[in-house]
Amino acid sequence: MSNVPADRPHLKNWPKRLPRELVLPETSLWVNMDVAARRYPNKPLYVFFGRELTFSQAHAQAEAIAGWLQSVGVKAGDRVLLYMQNCPQYAVAYYAILRANAVVVPVNPMNRADEFTHYITDPQAKVAICSVDLAAQVAAANAEVPAAERLEQVLVTRYTDAMPEGAIAADLAPPPAMDTWLRNDPPLPVDVNANYLRWTDVLAMRLVPGPHTARADDMALLPYTSGTTGNPKGCIHTHRTLMCNVVGGGVWGYVGADTVSLGVVPMFHITGMMYGLLSPVFYGSTVVLMPRWDRELAGRLISRYRVSHWTCIPTMIIDLFGSPNYAQFDLTSLRYLSGGGAAMPYAVAARLRDEFGLLFAEGYGLTETAAPSHANLPECPKLQCLGMPIFGVDSRVVDPITLKELPSGEVGEIITCGPMVFKGYWRHPEATAAAFIEFEGKTFFRTGDLGTMDEDGYFFLTDRLKRMINASGFKVWPAEVELLLYKHPAVQEACIIAARDAYRGETVKAVVVLRTEAKGQTTPEDITAWARDHMAAYKVPKIVEFVDTLPKSGAGKVMWRQLQDQEIANAKA
């Protein structure tokens, strides 16, 4: 029986080439790697500054890391932290954790020690895998958590472990600042609480893991997302909920073993994970991997490797078009561009169409939906549109108070029911209960996003019920930044709102009440400098405004909406 009623308006626009619902493998995600290594043993899975990692090599390394994980006590269902920028080792470690029947907990590598402590204690992790540049952050965080909850084992890799041993060709070489960072090799931390090992040493052990026992409905991934209050919450995803978009993304976007994609969206992010790590292994495709965004390097890599597919954030395309070397890049190999996180400007879309014959297919999804729940058809996308519900997805627009469905064109909350929807928030039963509603006999997830649906069944975003700032696709949850700012010795109260930004779309603004003794002694620049040391760079307030008091309700709650509305009014003035 179909999950989607036959009268849903988007189905009349559904292309004949696509099945309406998918038939998914009844296996774990590790099986995808196992199969791909047999099918394409000598084909590159990743290309990293010119050095290839083949499917068989990735498989062998994942087996060895899985053997080590089990040797240090990782059992089925245990959570293992993964904390680094994009590199081949990220994918190897990810699949190693799955091979060991454990659960991947991806952590944003921009997070600092103050933020990382939560990722140790909340998922109850005892093992972490990180890059060498972040090992000191792990050690500092580990020292701050209660002794019984600390990490016990940390596996550390260098980016150079996957880079060419000799000189890198000029058109593949990272820019100087990136190269210096990649080659940085500080000594391992001295941490009495945990044992630190080198990636290459563990590979050399060639430990063999026990049987792979994970099944489709076992937990595979615990990515964290924030909300209106408190610390980030883990989203429980199984092999099955992830497999839906692993398979569906390729069917939707014409992916095959011949596909060459540019992997620059961070792998810790659900979108980068889906299109740069999970889907390529299933389809046997190749990923040209970038650890960080750089427009000149991106242009050279697309040209050199004849990249065919690129999932990105629109600001990356805007930046690439702004390069003085733009005309020298050969972008003719691109045949599929997709992404989200920010709306694609009409002028940029027109340039893509007119110069390259390319249409940009925007999509929509959340961590809770394992990336897309909606997407535009690549053959006929609508601009600044979330797209239509994808395979097996039923989405509605409802009144957020009465939860009654609204007619097309009216603004309400988007609710979604589909096979990729997560199973709930880790150790947060109340939040889980609040996130779902029963509607027409099915369980729907409340996205917290306000939008409309047109007569064709396409969805459009208009606002958010939940507080969230979207800075170039990075989601900033004000409550989390506020909690961190309260640690500043000069801050008495703080409220985080969004400010308009010409490039990023939105940026972070802090409205701060200083403690009495700090007034006249603390500058906005002091707050910003402190924030850089205590939170991820994209969360750092770019604007700090001092006020005497914050507006409060009769119950004493800060009225952030009043401050946000005033900011919007000032921007329009």
CATH of the domain at 480: 3.30.300.30
Contact 503, 566 (CB under 8 A): no
Q: What pLDDT does 503 receive?
A: 78
Contact 460, 454 (CB under 8 A): yes
Cα–Cα distance between 456 and 473 in angstroms, integer?
27
Residue 16, in any domain of the structure: no
Same domain, 60 and 137: yes
Residue 505 — very low, low, confident or very high, per pLDDT cuts 50/70/90? confident
Cα–Cα distance between 183 and 162 in angstroms, integer?
11
The pLDDT tens digits of the residues spanning 562-571 come to 899 899 889 8
Same domain, 419 and 478: no
> Quick one: average pLDDT of 431-452?
95
- Average of per-residue pLDDT values in the chain: 94
Residue 274, in any domain of the structure: yes
> Quick one: average pLDDT of 428-454?
96
The pLDDT tens digits of the residues spanning 107-118 come to 999 999 999 999
Residue 563, in any domain of the structure: yes
Cα–Cα distance between 37 and 31 in angstroms, integer?
10
> Quick one: average pLDDT of 39-58?
98
Q: What pLDDT does 553 receive?
A: 67
Q: What percent of the chain is predicted at pLDDT more than 90?
A: 81
Query: Considering 402, 431, 464, which residue would you say is the last residue of a domain?
Result: 464
Q: What pLDDT does 565 receive?
A: 86
Same domain, 417 and 495: no
Burial of 452-483, coded b for 16+ CB within 10 Å and e otherwise, reads: bbeeebbbbbeeeeebbbbbbbbbbbbbbbbb
Residue 1, in any domain of the structure: no
- CB within 8 A of 233, min separation 6: which ones? 224, 225, 226, 227, 425, 426, 428, 431
**How far are the Cα atoms of 99, 358, 367, 415, 532 from residue 96, in angstroms, in the given order?**
5, 37, 22, 35, 33
User: What is the amino acid identity at position 449?
Assistant: D
Same domain, 328 and 475: no
Query: Considering 419, 441, 464, which residue would you say is the last residue of a domain?
Result: 464
pLDDT greater than 80 at residue 573? no
Cα–Cα distance between 66 and 86 in angstroms, integer?
20
Same domain, 535 and 453: no
Same domain, 506 and 402: no
How many Cβ atoms are within 10 Å of 490's Cβ, its own excluded?
17
> Quick one: average pLDDT of 431-435?
96
Residue 511 sits at φ, ψ, to 5 deg, of -100, 115
Residue 548, in any domain of the structure: yes
Q: What pLDDT does 231 receive?
A: 85
Q: Which two tokens stand for residue 540?
A: 């750092």
Q: State which H helix or E strand residue 249 sits in.
A: helix 239-252
Q: What residue numbers bound the domain in which 89 lies?
A: 27-339
Residue 368, in any domain of the structure: no
What's the CATH number where 437 sits? 2.30.38.10
Q: Which two tokens stand for residue 22?
A: 């998918």
The total of structural domains in the chain comes to 3
Same domain, 480 and 454: no
Same domain, 322 and 417: no
What's the CATH number where 152 sits? 3.40.50.12780
Same domain, 475 and 432: no
Three-state SS string over 536-559 comes to CHHHCCCEEEECCCCCECCCCCEC
Residue 296 — very low, low, confident or very high, per pLDDT cuts 50/70/90? very high
How many Cβ atoms are within 10 Å of 108's Cβ, its own excluded?
19
Q: What pLDDT does 345 receive?
A: 81
> Quick one: average pLDDT of 264-270?
95
Phi-psi group of 34: left, alpha or beta (phi > 0 → left; psi -120 to 50 → alpha; rest → beta): alpha
> Quick one: average pLDDT of 522-547?
95
Q: What pLDDT does 26 receive?
A: 97
Query: Considering 464, 486, 516, which residue would you say is the last residue of a domain?
Result: 464
Same domain, 195 and 313: yes
Q: What pLDDT does 554 receive?
A: 65
> Quick one: average pLDDT of 373-377?
97
pLDDT greater than 60 at residue 226? yes
Same domain, 69 and 182: yes
Residue 304 sits at φ, ψ, to 5 deg, of -70, -45
Residue 120, in any domain of the structure: yes
Same domain, 286 and 401: no
The pLDDT tens digits of the residues spanning 269-294 come to 999 999 999 999 999 999 999 999 99
Residue 251, in any domain of the structure: yes
